[in-house]
Amino acid sequence: MCLSVRSARVSQLLAITRDVSPSIVNCELTHLSREPIDIDKARAQHAHYEHELGRLGCMVTRLPADASMPDSVFIEDIAIVFDEIAVITRPGAASRRPEIAAVTKKLSQLRPIVQIVAPGTIDGGDVLVVGRSIFVGRTLRTNDAGIGQLRAAVASYGYTVVPATVRGCLHLKSAITALDDQMLLANRRWIDEEEFNRFELLDVDEAESMGANIVRVGTAHLYASTFPRTLERLERRGYAVTTVDVSEIAKAEGAVTCCSLICRK
Ligand code: CIR
């Protein structure tokens, strides 16, 4: 299925999304307890998320998914898309590997493809790209072999790959994401702040530990509406943030960056 949500502006960005699987209730969970998920509500939230990406200037293409891939909506974990190439990951959870084929097929229409292979594992949620620096969380999902393969894939394009410490959460981007090339939104308890000392860190509110995940869409930002105190901090710093309710999707341990692959067309 291809949604063509276009903003009034000329669309420079492509956002690839993926269906909420009918089996999302069987998703992987690491730090959360299983709660019932209302699939219709999750799908409505996802459609609204796509709509807002469209309004912010993305052309949105949604890939189909079925019951064999409970976590399909979290497409970010399956690839890292650069201007030059797309790296297809080998997700750390074996249950997520059936997601690879369709994402590879789509991205091979857009970029040369490099594939992470065994014994390497990477989840895209562990990969934070800021300019030519790529921070990669060492987690249950991402290992040193995967990080080494990513480094080899991008070295000739001038990117530097830096392993990063993550504790207490699933992915690096649960703990820290970029607002722009100078400022990162962070939950310092889940990272080693020294590793990011050339950036300014904007802290999430103490009561909003999951609030460090924000999507950069060109110069705009898309953020979950469940973190009002951190939102206030963002607005005080001059960031114009669009919010979406992804509360149902969050029960599957995902956040806003996880639900799209955003790249230049
Ligand atoms: C998983 O555990 O793989 C999914 N239930 C959640 C993945 C969220 N993805 C992300 O943070 N990039």
Its pTM stands at: 0.95
Q: What is the best residue among 69, 80, 253, 259 to mutate for testing ligand 1's pocket, by most ligand atoms within 8 Å of CB?
A: 253
**Which residue's C-alpha comes closest to atom 12 of ligand 1?**
125
Supply the CATH classification number for the domain 2-264: 3.75.10.10
Active site residue 171: yes
* Cβ-based neighbours of 209, under 8 Å, separated by 6 or more: 187, 189, 190
Q: Which atom of ligand 1 is nearest to the CA of 70?
A: 5
CA of 158 to the centre of ligand 1 (A): 29
Q: Is 93 in the pocket of ligand 1 (CB under 6 A)?
A: yes
pLDDT of 7 reads 46
88 neighbors 100 (Cβ within 8 angstroms) = yes
Query: Is 156 exposed, middle or buried, given 0-12, 13-18 or 19+ CB atoms closer than 10 A?
Result: exposed
Pocket test for ligand 1, best of 74, 90, 126, 177 (most atoms within 8 A of CB): 74
Query: pLDDT truncated to tens, each residue of the chain (265 aa)?
Result: 445 444 445 459 999 999 999 999 999 999 999 999 999 999 999 999 999 999 999 999 999 999 999 999 999 999 999 999 999 999 999 999 999 999 999 999 999 999 999 999 999 999 999 999 999 999 999 999 999 999 999 999 999 999 999 999 999 999 999 999 999 999 999 999 999 999 999 999 999 999 999 999 999 999 999 999 999 999 999 999 999 999 999 999 999 999 999 999 9
**Residue of the CA atom closest to atom 1 of ligand 1:** 28
**Of 58, 171, 259, 263, which one is the catalytic site residue?**
171
Whether residue 16 has its Cβ less than 6 Å from ligand 1: no
Q: Which atom of ligand 1 is closest in space to residue 124's alpha carbon?
A: 12
Structure tokens given for 196? 């990011």
